[in-house]
Chain A
Amino acid sequence: MASAAAAASSAPTIWLTGQGLGGRSTRLPFHWRNKKMEQRKTGGRISAKFDLKPPPYPLNALEPHMSKDTLEFHWGKHHRAYVDNLNKQIVGTELGDGKSLEDVVIASYNKGDLLPAFNNAAQAWNHDFFWESMKPGGGGKPSGELLGLIERDFGSFEKFLEEFKAAAATQFGSGWAWLVYKANNRADVANAVNPLPSEKDKSLLVVKTPNAVNPLVWDYSPLLTIDVWEHAYYLDFQNRRPDYISVFMDKLVSWESVSKRLESAKAPAT
């Protein structure tokens, strides 16, 4: 892992190669909290324990759009349980040997034959990503390059909004809706590799996933997510998921986070 040493510097766009499966490399942007990198930086023993990161704002900061109660339960109980249970599950196993959370997610996804730790690992990752997808005073429209790409790939911001909201509303049962950047070298078939990746293979997409699944497992770069498990909205909206989705887009989404993630996802040319 030669890149880990380089990662200790402050260069913003270092690509880290995950251990992955069978030599497959996972390209991850620097700012996505590579746990292994952090551990090496401190020079200490690799303890392989994941922490529950707090949201980047106080628990009442999203009111009245998302209540403090919701944050207290959703982050304080649900997210915390995923992290605690993951730590218990991976201790003493290959998954707990200092891998990053992203690597644990990919490894436990196991090409679709889920290992027991997948649910907790993916949900731990998903919720970190979710809190960072929102901010107090959020909503509005994106700008700059992100808006340009949205208009290019969806026709207009309104059409993107429609598609994203529809995905979130029609994910049956528990799950997530995502805006992703598809820049992978893979053809649109599970394990095939695209031998001639070109600019037109890169685009923004809206996808939805069930339960704990996230687009990392398809080698997409997630840019934005909304949690549509009922626990995410039931206290504030009860059965009214479409209202929750509208409020999320109108008042909560942090387009700054999305733009930063797009930058990272695009940074190294393939």
Chain B
Amino acid sequence: MALRSLAIRKAIGLGKSVGLGLRGLQTVTLPDLPYDYSALEPAISGEIMQLHHQKHHQAYVTNYNKAVEQLFQALNKVDTSTVVQLQGAIKFNGGGHVNHSIFWKNLAPVHEGGGEPPHSSLGWAIDTHFGSLEALIQKMSAEGAALQGSGWVWLGLDTEFKRLVVETTANQDPLVTKAPTLVPLLGIDVWEHAYYLQYKNVKPDYLKNIWNVMNWKYASDVYQKECP
């Protein structure tokens, strides 16, 4: 069956690149922050927010687009070695873009609801799965503090069992790499660049203060979409 369709494709001159060449390559772009760089102070300094967004996230975007462009060419040339070799750069930079895009949305200035605890169904689910909001916060902060090297700590929803989970991922691995059924509700960046200029080596203080600007409304919205 496959051989036959390949033969047909060759016959009409489309060869191997049909589907890729015709559609063109889409790139990703750096999303805008929904608030000013200084809007999350004093929890996270404006200096950090600006560097984090304009330098770190921008670099992930730029390098992801570069890697995907190279992937596109390698796929067209059926250069399988290069396709495989590019996977690292795609995972690092694509993951960085995915994770940070979520991160900006799950933070909010205090005057826009940052820090306000979740109500309705997510609040109830948190109490059910973790005992209380305080217990969840403690667990996430502890896992974030214990994470060695670079990574993220997540509040996730297992869409198969409709269950909340706390997970960590290394480097820029998105939550979905832990299990394909996991949807991120909140993520906390514990790479040193996320807090170093302000908190230096005292990661636990960063993990304490970030809850003051946590956007539980975003988490609730995602939760309610998955668990109507």
Given contacts A172-B171, A239-B51, A239-B56, contact A234 B197 (CB under 8 A): yes
Q: Is the CB of B196 within 8 A of A234?
A: yes
* Residue A115 lies at the interface, judged by CB distance under 8 Å to chain B: no
Residue from the list B55, B59, B148, B192 in contact with A119, Cβ < 8 A = B148
Chain A residues contacting B59 (CB-CB under 8 Å) are 239
Q: Is the CB of B201 within 8 A of A78?
A: yes
* Residue A267 lies at the interface, judged by CB distance under 8 Å to chain B: no
Chain A residues contacting B55 (CB-CB under 8 Å) are 238-239
- Measured in the bound complex, the distance between the Cα atoms of B59 and A230 in whole Å is 15
Chain A residues contacting B192 (CB-CB under 8 Å) are 174, 229-231, 234
Greatest chain B CB density within 10 A among A172, A175, A211 is at A172
A-facing mask of B188-211, CB < 8 A → 1, else 0? 000111001100110000000000
* Residue B88 lies at the interface, judged by CB distance under 8 Å to chain A: yes
* Residue A212 lies at the interface, judged by CB distance under 8 Å to chain B: yes
* Residue B92 lies at the interface, judged by CB distance under 8 Å to chain A: yes
Chain B residues contacting A212 (CB-CB under 8 Å) are 148-149
Q: Is the CB of B193 within 8 A of A234?
A: yes
Given contacts A230-B193, A231-B192, A239-B51, contact A173 B149 (CB under 8 A): yes
Residue of A nearest to B47 (CB): A238
Q: Smallest Cβ distance from A118 to chain B, in angstroms?
A: 9
Residue of B nearest to A238 (CB): B51
Q: Is the CB of A235 within 8 A of B196?
A: yes
Q: Is the CB of A231 within 8 A of B148?
A: no
B-facing mask of A205-226, CB < 8 A → 1, else 0? 0000011100000000000000
* Residue A73 lies at the interface, judged by CB distance under 8 Å to chain B: yes
Given contacts A230-B196, A235-B196, A239-B59, contact A172 B88 (CB under 8 A): yes
Q: Smallest Cβ distance from B204 to chain A, in angstroms?
A: 12
* Residue B133 lies at the interface, judged by CB distance under 8 Å to chain A: no
* Residue A33 lies at the interface, judged by CB distance under 8 Å to chain B: no
Q: Smallest Cβ distance from A240 to chain B, in angstroms?
A: 8
B window 150-194: CB within 8 A of A: 150-151, 170-172, 191-193
B-facing mask of A102-142, CB < 8 A → 1, else 0? 00000000000000000100000000000000000000000
23 CB contacts below 8 A, A to B, read A77-B200, A78-B201, A81-B201, A119-B148, A172-B171, A173-B150, A174-B149, A174-B192, A211-B149, A212-B148, A229-B149, A229-B192, A230-B192, A230-B193, A230-B196, A231-B196, A234-B192, A234-B193, A235-B196, A235-B197, A238-B55, A238-B193, A239-B55
